[in-house]
Amino acid sequence: MCPKTARAFTLVTLLDFTCVCSWPMRTVAVLGGGIGGLAASYYLCKSPQVTKVILLEASSRFGGWLWSTRRSDGAVFEHGPRGIRPAGAVGSNTLNMVDDLGLAEEILPVSYSHVASRNRYLYCSCVCVCVCVCVQLADIAVDSLCRGVFAGDCRKLSVRSCFPVLYNAEQHRGSIVLGMLLGSGEAQVISRGPLAKRSKKESWAQWSLKRGMQSFPEAIAENLQQSGRVQLHKEAVVKQIDPSASGCLVPLFTALSSVLPRSCQPLTQQLQDISSVTVAVVNLEYDGAILPVMGFGHLVPSSEDRGLLGVVYDSVPFPQHNRPDGQTTRLTVQTNNTLRHSQCVSEVTPPENCNQLFADCIPQYYEGHFQRVESMRGFIRNNNLALSLTGSCYDGVSVNDVIFSGRTAVEELLGTVV
């Protein structure tokens, strides 16, 4: 178990390169061993241009927020992500990687016809019956969606950055509804491997892994180890980097924005301007079947409770993670930092609960986020810094987005498709 205090940034930096044959052979350092850093290392290993990758992770384990507890009685609890969507180019990209890592047999799919996909609840104690009811419901739904995905405030978040599918649908078809029906003309095209084809054929809505999400980073780390080209370092806190130098390895400090030198002040400032929220996650286990309704879970609008974000009914989509002897119900309660811990557990005395406070775990894409990220990348380009930004702070927070961002960062860094 690692205390989670570090912000979700991953940087890929080129350390040096030596010219061999017609292409430069490179050593690349990857800072941060969350799913973003692991994915970047995985794609770097696919390139013949890269001879060595050095992956530096501050904590004692790889995977970042992909973190599962496997109890000795067979029960599995997720502290971070619990389901990955197979949809779209980014979903296929992740499934292609899962296939390549040999994890296909480990997949636990949940189809669209499953009760967990059909029923997703909003907790509303009362909805006023008046002519404004549709507007009120739409407001409640958007508010809850922003809280469910970003643990954030819908009045501040940018639709373009947080929900690019909705934004592109609206831009492409002139209406979100039409865009969603007719397709938003997705820019990225990823060919589907066997697992992605299967997900389409069997109509998966989401998937997990038999031994929990943590199996995913574990499999990537093992794959990197076996490649013989990656040095994996745990408990290696990066404290300073020099993105203009070649061949130097980094001495070390604390906050990420302080790892950049003074010459990168505009970049440092913009990194600091990306705020993030803290989420508390409480895993609960009850004996017996205690749920009054079946579904994925329920989101809680801020009008009902500012602190409570929602409750996921984990044992409905993934009963395979229940302990095998006897019936149990597993739930995950997610709260933001306006709810005191004692409030969220005081009303229940379940036989098992485990709670974690994840500091600064979800970056907030406020208005102007898109332009800020463009500007940061512009600064890197204009100053010829051997540096690339990837991870959940920039191009999407879902596991799929972060993996795809790792791939894009590597392609930009090497100037070639991997």
Ligand X SMILES: Cc1cc2nc3c(=O)[nH]c(=O)nc-3n(C[C@H](O)[C@H](O)[C@H](O)COP(=O)(O)OP(=O)(O)OC[C@H]3O[C@@H](n4cnc5c(N)ncnc54)[C@H](O)[C@@H]3O)c2cc1C
Q: Does 31 bind ligand X (CB under 6 A)?
A: yes
Query: Binding ligand X by CB under 6 A: which of 81, 86, 152, 243?
Result: 81
Nearer to ligand X by Cβ, of 17 and 296: the residue is 296
Query: Binding ligand X by CB under 6 A: which of 136, 398, 411, 418?
Result: 398
Distance of closest approach, residue 132 Cβ to ligand X, in angstroms: 33
Q: Does 82 bind ligand X (CB under 6 A)?
A: yes
Q: How many residues bind ligand X (CB under 6 A)?
A: 37
C-alpha closest to that of 104 among 194, 222, 228, 16: 194
Give the C-alpha separation, 102 to 105, whole Å. Answer: 8
How far is residue 92 CA from its own chain's centroid? 15
Query: Binding ligand X by CB under 6 A: which of 17, 30, 33, 386?
Result: 33
Q: Does 83 bind ligand X (CB under 6 A)?
A: yes
Q: Does 184 bind ligand X (CB under 6 A)?
A: no
How many CB atoms are located within 10 Å of the residue 102 CB?
11
Q: Does 212 bind ligand X (CB under 6 A)?
A: no
- Convert residues 217-246 into a mask of x (bound to ligand X by CB under 6 A) and - (unbound): --------------------xx--------
| Spatial contact of 208 and 314, defined as CB atoms under 8 Å apart | no
Distance of closest approach, residue 62 Cβ to ligand X, in angstroms: 7
Query: Binding ligand X by CB under 6 A: which of 358, 365, 366, 404?
Result: 358
Q: Does 295 bind ligand X (CB under 6 A)?
A: no
Stretch near ligand X under the rule CB under 6 A, chosen from 4-12, 131-139, 267-275, 337-345: 4-12
According to DSSP H, which parts of 52-163 are helical?
Answer: 88-100, 115-118, 133-150, 159-162
Nearer to ligand X by Cβ, of 274 and 279: the residue is 279
Give the C-alpha separation, 145 to 153, whole Å. Answer: 10
Q: Does 10 bind ligand X (CB under 6 A)?
A: yes
Nearer to ligand X by Cβ, of 154 and 213: the residue is 213
Q: Does 317 bind ligand X (CB under 6 A)?
A: no
How many CB atoms are located within 10 Å of the residue 113 CB?
10
Distance of closest approach, residue 275 Cβ to ligand X, in angstroms: 15
Nearer to ligand X by Cβ, of 223 and 392: the residue is 392
Distance of closest approach, residue 32 Cβ to ligand X, in angstroms: 3
Distance of closest approach, residue 136 Cβ to ligand X, in angstroms: 28
Nearer to ligand X by Cβ, of 49 and 94: the residue is 94
How far is residue 289 CA from its own chain's centroid? 30
Q: Does 311 bind ligand X (CB under 6 A)?
A: no
Cα angle at 188 between 181 and 41, to 5 degrees? 135
Cα angle at 18 between 245 and 415, to 5 degrees? 80
Q: What is the largest CA-CA distance in the chain?
A: 73
Distance of closest approach, residue 258 Cβ to ligand X, in angstroms: 9
Query: Binding ligand X by CB under 6 A: which of 12, 15, 34, 147?
Result: 34
Q: Say which residue the tokens 């924005």 belong to.
A: 257
Please name the residues in contact with 265: beta carbons below 8 A apart, sequence gap of 6 or more.
none
Nearer to ligand X by Cβ, of 35 and 196: the residue is 35
Measured CA distances, 9 to 48, 260, 275, 375 (Å)? 26, 13, 12, 17
At residue 269, the 3 state secondary structure works out as helix
How far is residue 308 CA from its own chain's centroid? 21
Give one DSSP letter per residue of 353-389, joined into a string.
EEEEEEEEEEE--BTTHHHHHHHHHHHHHHTT-SEEE
At residue 148, the 3 state secondary structure works out as helix
Q: Does 399 bind ligand X (CB under 6 A)?
A: yes
Query: Binding ligand X by CB under 6 A: which of 176, 316, 331, 397?
Result: 397
Q: Does 157 bind ligand X (CB under 6 A)?
A: no
Give the C-alpha separation, 80 to 72, whole Å. Answer: 20
Q: Does 84 bind ligand X (CB under 6 A)?
A: yes
How far is residue 43 CA from its own chain's centroid? 17
At residue 203, the 3 state secondary structure works out as coil
Query: Binding ligand X by CB under 6 A: which of 32, 164, 297, 317?
Result: 32
Q: Does 59 bind ligand X (CB under 6 A)?
A: yes
Distance of closest approach, residue 251 Cβ to ligand X, in angstroms: 12
C-alpha closest to that of 164 among 398, 407, 412, 8: 398
| Spatial contact of 373 and 388, defined as CB atoms under 8 Å apart | no
* Interface positions, 266-285, toward ligand X (CB under 6 A): 279, 281
Query: In the complex, which residues of this chain contact ligand X (CB under 6 A)?
Result: 6, 8, 10, 31-37, 56-59, 64-66, 80-84, 237-238, 256, 259, 279, 281, 358, 361-362, 391-392, 397-399, 402
